Structure 1
């Protein structure tokens, strides 16, 4: 009986490892976590030291860390890329009351929390690489644990009809640190009715 239990446990561990391996795009779990942590360190150094940082010099003096949720590979999803046939320009409102124009390019459709989710991918008019997209979203953590104006992901097409969206890499816009900046707000299509408890938390929380 004990041997059977041990065998079942070993099988479960192997299956779980295989699932995590698939979710992390063929990387080992350790390599995936190391990659995310390295990106977080890069973000911190940029915000703390770079001259283009949104922080004022006074803020930089007391700035010691960025706040993140724990890394969860389940929130790295492979999405179906559904191009919009009749692409239109959209004037996206900014937090300072102005607007910026983006191209409505495609939908990213994926499964998360047992439901099909869909997000609108926008593209900057001056984007030189047509595989890169701007993804702004808000979710049920917004204005609670994360910035009320939403978070961003730099999304890049990685297949003919697919794109990987890693919510562990969700980051705050500049206006989360300094209200003097004007930042694009998520389009209404990207207001998720589920929590996304990964990525960057609100500044100062």
Structure 2
């Protein structure tokens, strides 16, 4: 085979490998770690400095950090979205006794901790992007190492019937920092019977 043809073949193979890698590769552990740490830093800066922070000015002066579990990629799961055929509006109780309206959209089914899980995905009534969902949940750490009123995940549908739930990004509602706020409580479907030892821990006042 002529050298020119060999070179052409090698270039073609390299391009094919590069394309295949691009299409099939997953995020490296280092990149994932950096992404989660960057989000945690963003959360801290918002709570510490933003005018919309739930902390009072006095609290901000004493605020030095948020508390998190170590990052564990095993708690980033790909879930199957099972649509609710007859979608209806649910009045979700808030911590102050009032209620807020959400659309019951679908269930996220996945396996975690050796158990099958099925969590209710809610959607805000005025959500402009219909691929965005709100997940409020409580688990075996709630009221102990994490806020007793549960934690939240903002999730985005990333496939026709799939959604990624990253519990490393679980965060506290505003009322965990300031009881003057009213926050949605997890629906009964999302009271998990396993511990989720990732994400944000209790706010240390």
Q: TM-score range by the shorter chain?
A: 0.7 to 0.9
Aligned residue number for residue 116 of structure 2: 116
Aligned residue number for residue 79 of structure 2: 79
Match of 1:158, SS? Answer: coil
Separation in 2, partners of 1:115, 1:41: 32
Aligned residue number for residue 3 of structure 1: none
2:26 is the counterpart of 1:26: yes
- Residues 42-81 of structure 1 aligned to structure 2 (within 5 Å): 42-81=42-81
- Residues 1-205 of structure 1 aligned to structure 2 (within 5 Å): 26-204=26-204
Aligned residue number for residue 13 of structure 1: none
Deviation at 1:114, TM superposition (A): 1.1
Deviation at 1:145, TM superposition (A): 0.2
- Structure 2: 5+ residue stretches without partners: 1-24
Separation in 1, partners of 2:203, 2:155: 22
How many aligned residue pairs are there? Answer: 181
Deviation at 1:97, TM superposition (A): 0.8
Separation in 2, partners of 1:146, 1:114: 22
Match of 2:158, SS? Answer: strand
Separation in 1, partners of 2:175, 2:142: 14
Deviation at 1:156, TM superposition (A): 0.4
Separation in 2, partners of 1:63, 1:113: 34
After superposition, the CA RMSD in angstroms is 0.9
Structure number with greater Rg is 2
Deviation at 1:79, TM superposition (A): 0.1
Per-residue displacement from partner, 1:8-28 (whole Å, max 9, x unpaired)? xxxxxxxxxxxxxxxxx8110
Aligned residue number for residue 4 of structure 1: none
Separation in 1, partners of 2:187, 2:114: 23
Runs of 4 or more above 2 Å deviation:
none
Aligned residue number for residue 8 of structure 2: none
Deviation at 1:150, TM superposition (A): 0.1
